[in-house]
């Protein structure tokens, strides 16, 4: 949509809602809002809203990790959040969202999965994260990732007795977390880098890079999207920007 006009605005560091290129919209994070979930969070970035719920269960471990708990991340791009989303099985966008959020949590070893083992080779706890989009006005990726980590922090084990999970009784035991990765997506439009895109900015994107970082400022996940290539200098610029902004987002947890 009239990209030249958007670029002209960006050349003056003014975005279509008046923000500066490195500015986030107001962010709110609420936890514990869904009683039926073991952990939950509602994240709003501007008017973009997602709900994240964590359910736990007891399953057999994966054959190659017999003493570790299981992790699964699923994303539902609900049709109620965007007129262009359709009912049905997850499309490419939903799968990418889920996998990017998953990568940030799994690869940073955010959850201490060894502590989720009940009986080696037979029974382990399984952590299932579901992201449901409620209103899409851009930047579902960052909202989902922030919601996932906030929901994990909120998660308490349900009671486990006589080989059965009693979901109606929550214990006071929190999910063992080692790290809290923060994920930020930076978009390149022409020669400009912006964070927290509006829907119109997402449509004008040449390339984007999602970077997940830990508290020690280490990078634990990367995902490039878009059809245009990055120059190596771009990557450095983006990582610096993410490290800088991650401080702001981390305060919301």
Partner 1 sequence: MTDLLKVKDRDIVVPGEILAVGLGFLPGKGTYRDGDKLIAGMLGMVSVENKVVKLISLSGKYIPKVYDKVIGKVIDVLMTGWRIDIGSAYSAVLNLKEATSEFIERGADLTRIYNLDDYVMVQITNVTSQKLVDVSSRGPGLRKLNGGRIIEVNPHKVPRIIGKEGSMVSMVKQATGCNILVGQNGWVWLEGEPEKEIIAVNTIRKIEEEAHHMGLTDKIKDYLEKVTGVKIQAKE
Partner 2 sequence: MAYTKRFDGRDWEETRPIEAKVGVIPRADGSAMFKIGNTVALAAVYGPRDLHPKFLQNPQTGILRCHYNMMPFSGHGERVRPGGSRRSRELSMVIEKSLLPVLDLSEYPNAVVDVFIELPQTDAGTRCAGITAAAMALADAGLAMKDLISAVAIGKVDDKILVDLNYDEEAYDGPKADIPVAMTPNSGKITLLQMDGEITKKELKKALEMAKKVCSQIYEIQKNALKEKFKVQ
Q: Which spans of this chain sit near partner 2 (rule: CB under 8 A)?
A: 34-37, 40, 47, 49, 51, 53-55, 57, 74, 76, 78-83, 87, 89, 128, 130, 132, 134-137, 165, 167-168
Interface with partner 1, residue 1, by CB under 8 A: yes
Query: Which partner in partner 1, partner 2, none is near 168 (CB below 5 to 8 A by kind)?
Result: partner 2
CB of 199 to partner 2, least distance (A): 9
Residue 183 interacts with, from partner 2, partner 1, none (CB under 5-8 Å by kind):
none
On whether the CB atoms of residues 223 and 209 are closer than 8 A, the answer is: yes
For position 168 contacting partner 1 by CB under 8 A, the verdict is no
Rounded Cα–Cα distance for residues 143 and 51 (Å): 9
Angstrom distance (rounded) from CA 202 to CA 207: 10
User: Among partner 2, partner 1, none, what binds residue 18 when CB lies within 5 to 8 Å by partner kind?
Assistant: partner 1
In 3-state terms the chain splits into helix, strand, coil percentages (rounded to 5) of: 30, 35, 35
Q: How far is the CB of 54 from partner 2 (least distance, A)?
A: 7
18 binds partner 1 (CB under 8 A): yes
Contact in structure between 126 and 58 (CB atoms under 8 Å): yes
Q: How far apart are CA 111 and CA 133, in angstroms?
A: 24
By CB under 8 A, which span of 3-11, 41-49, 57-65, 147-155 interacts with partner 1? 3-11
Q: Could you say which of partner 2, partner 1, none residue 8 binds, taking C-beta under 5 to 8 angstroms by partner kind? A: partner 1
Q: Are 206 and 10 in contact (CB under 8 A)?
A: no
Q: Which of 137, 142, 151 is nearest to 30 (CA)?
A: 151
92-107 vs 140-154: helix crossing angle, rounded to 10: 50
Catalog residues that contact partner 1 under the rule CB under 8 A.
1-2, 4-6, 8-9, 12, 14, 16-18
């Amino acid at each position: 949509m009239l990209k030249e006009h958007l670029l002209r605005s960006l050349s003056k560091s003014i975005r279509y809602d008046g923000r500066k290129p490195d500015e986030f919209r107001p962010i709110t994070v609420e936890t514990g809002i869904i009683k039926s979930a073991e952990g939950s969070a509602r994240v709003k970035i501007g008017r973009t809203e997602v709900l994240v719920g964590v359910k736990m269960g007891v399953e057999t471990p994966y054959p190659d990790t017999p003493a570790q708990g299981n992790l699964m991340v699923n994303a539902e791009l609900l049709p109620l959040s965007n007129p262009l989303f359709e009912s049905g099985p997850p499309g490419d966008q939903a799968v990418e969202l889920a996998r990017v959020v998953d990568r940030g949590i799994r690869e940073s070893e955010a959850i201490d999965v060894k502590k989720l083992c009940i009986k080696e080779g037979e029974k382990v706890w399984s952590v299932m994260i579901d992201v449901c989009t409620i209103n899409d006005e851009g930047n579902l990726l960052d909202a989902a990732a922030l919601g996932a980590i906030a929901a994990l922090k909120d998660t308490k084990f349900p009671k486990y007795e006589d080989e059965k999970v009693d979901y109606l009784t929550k214990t006071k035991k929190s999910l063992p977390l080692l790290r809290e990765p923060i994920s930020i997506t930076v978009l390149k439009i022409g020669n400009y880098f912006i964070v927290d895109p509006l829907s119109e900015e997402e449509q004008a994107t040449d390339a984007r890079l999602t970077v997940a970082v830990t508290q020690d400022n280490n990078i634990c996940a990367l995902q490039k999207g878009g059809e245009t290539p990055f120059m190596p200098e771009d990557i450095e610029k983006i990582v610096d920007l993410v490290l800088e902004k991650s401080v702001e987002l981390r305060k919301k947890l």
